[in-house]
Amino acid sequence: MEIDLLVLVPLVAILGVFYHFITKGNKYFHDKPIPSLAVEPLFGSTRNLIMKKTAFHDFVISIYNKYPLVKVFGMIDTMTPMFVVRDPELIKRIGVKDFEYFMNHRPVFGNNDDPHNEALFGKTLIAITDQKWRDMRATLSPAFTGSKMRQMFELIVECCSNMAQHYKDEIRKNGASSREHEMKDVFTRYANDVIATCAFGIKVDSLKNTENDFYVNGKKMMAFNRPIVILRMMGFRLVPKLMNYFSLDLFDREQSDFFKAIIRDTVRTRDVNGIVRPDMVHLLMQARKGALKHQREAEDREEVKGFATVEESEVGQAQTSKGMQMSELEMVAQCLIFFLAGFDTVSTCLTFLAYELTVNRDVQDKLYEEIRQTDKALAGGPLTYDAIQGMQYMDMVVSEGLRMWAPAPATDRLCVRDYVVDDGERLKFTIDKGTVVFIPIAGIHHDPQYYPNPSKFDPERFNEENREKINPSTYLPFGIGPRNCIGSRFALMEVKAIVYYMLREFSFERTPNTQVPLRLAKGFAGMRSEKGVFVEFRPRQVTST
């Protein structure tokens, strides 16, 4: 009996300490004058998400709709208190006007910027914080101006042309009238090839060489549903200091080493041989030397921008007397985050856009007519940057696709010092330092108050007349404020270019495998369809005009 007690008492004590640790924040919102979601130990308010009973996109919409009359409510994500902000004006204040209070993202996957720590994710632009982030943003921002995108556009067009030709050749060789394809696979391969050439300066063909190293390693890095990755993610949420102490990274060492080796070899080769190529490696090499400055080129001021394009803030436009002392690891990390964003986010956007074009044939036909007219104006020549920027209906279609299926259904900000919310009416409370603000992008995008009949794919929401009525704080596919997506221009031209080339050659048709309506796969790791998005590529019968 004594032995049992000797074992039992410490065990109960340990369990008690553990229970206190995982529940200590569960009553955080009880003293706040706002409603909050129900809480469970360890899961917080997110059991359905963690247990894969709902998709992240659907989860965001469901919690957003929980309290339709409030501006903000509370939620516990595992152990972290989060203020879910529904009000566009408060979102604008937090994301833009009072940015100094909310400068950082929540450190979900670690933010260890120790130069001796080999973990890459913590050194990416999305993870670094405070002044280090300011310096990096100002250093990288000049690489994403319209003029720099113009220089890269030829590389993207080459990938688009190769892809369209591949599928034409495939149909011809098989003697078929058309061919069914799964869109996520198709566009992941396209995005892989674009980012390989534009970010890493390496040409790969993921359609012919289906298991190339770039594609295989990218797929492994984005497989967030693997048990080991889920454990790491939980580790960064529960014991982030311990994870950083052991230099643990979100990514497997094998994949990290692969990308480190590529960048190091590329930089070394270019330095030795004086090679210049209009891609991200070259721009980062310039930035590292302090040769890349933010200039207001006339062509950038006059450029026709897409509705979804975000403007760079004063942080990004800040001039520095010398380049940021960017280490080799930091340079690799920036290339890596560009790769992952291109690999997954762009392919996700294109997958859902292809679905909407397939099931909304009137939209597809109208877009094809604009493509045909643009092609005629180019006399059958390659697509140009100015031509794609001038396609109004294309921009409307892509803007609506990003509204309905925002690849990032939510974003967040970490409160870095106490912030008082006071709407001048009845709402007054403090967002405490160390808590998180959660911005439910998908919920806002599907709110009929801002977008009537939100489940309908309607590009006319973004025509010249209607777009003027849209509150910018209710359209956030690339985030808001100084920490918005630095690569919005790149992503948009990448999406528009491949839609142009594929729709010019093929019509998108339903097949028996096309799931209508589309249902999303459950879980929080990435937005994807439940059963894939299957579309038939049917070659167009082009008639002379």
- Altogether, the residues listed in the chain come to a count of 545
Residue 493 DSSP class: H
pLDDT, position 349 = 96
User: Which pLDDT belongs to residue 177?
Assistant: 67
pLDDT at position 121: 78
Are the C-beta atoms of 492 and 25 separated by less than 8 Å?
A: no
Partnered with residue 179 across adjacent β-strands are 537
Q: How many CB atoms lie within 10 A of CB 271?
A: 10
Beta bridge partners of 538: 507
- Supply the DSSP string of 177-210, one letter for each residue: S-EEEEHHHHHHHHHHHHHHHHHS-----TTTST
Residue 58 has φ and ψ, to the nearest 5°, of -70, -35
Residues 500 and 394: their CA atoms lie apart, in Å, by: 8
The whole-number pLDDT of residue 321 equals 43
The Cα 299–Cα 227 span in angstroms is: 49
DSSP letters spanning 19-79: HHHHHTTTTGGGGSSS-B---BTTTBT-HHHHTTSSBHHHHHHHHHTTSTT-SEEEEEETT
The upper half-sphere exposure of residue 234, i.e. CA atoms within 13 Å in the direction of its Cβ, equals 15
Closest to 282 measured CA to CA, from 193, 192, 198: 198
Q: How far apart are CA 244 and CA 256, in angstroms?
A: 16
Integer angstrom CA distances of residue 520 from 51, 188, 349, 405, 515: 15, 18, 14, 11, 10
pLDDT tens-place values along the chain, 545 residues long: 455 666 666 666 666 555 555 566 668 898 899 999 988 877 888 888 888 899 999 999 999 999 999 999 999 988 789 999 999 999 999 999 999 999 999 877 655 555 656 667 788 888 889 998 998 888 888 888 888 888 889 999 999 999 999 999 998 887 776 789 999 999 999 999 998 888 777 888 898 888 888 888 888 777 666 666 667 666 766 676 776 666 666 667 787 788 888 888 888 888 787 777 777 788 788 777 766 665 555 555 556 678 888 887 776 566 554 556 777 788 888 888 888 787 789 999 999 999 999 999 999 999 999 999 999 999 989 999 999 999 999 999 999 999 999 999 999 999 999 999 998 778 899 999 999 999 999 999 999 999 999 999 999 999 999 999 999 999 999 999 999 999 899 999 999 999 999 999 999 999 999 999 999 998 876 788 988 999 999 999 765 44
Positive or negative torsion for Cα 255, 260, 263, 264? negative
Count CA within 13 A, CB hemisphere, residue 231: 5
The counts of H helices and E strands in the chain are 22, 9
Tokens of 164: 């369209």
- Half-sphere exposure of residue 285: CA atoms within 13 angstroms, side-chain side: 20
Give the C-alpha separation, 393 to 430, whole Å. Answer: 44
Q: Which domains does the chain have, with CATH numbers?
A: 5-539 (1.10.630.10)
Contacts of 254 (CB under 8 A, 6+ apart): 217, 220
Q: What is the pTM of this model?
A: 0.89
For the record, the structure tokens of 340 come out as 């992952």
- Is 485 annotated in some ligand binding site? yes
Burial of 495 (0-12, 13-18, 19+ CB in 10 A): buried
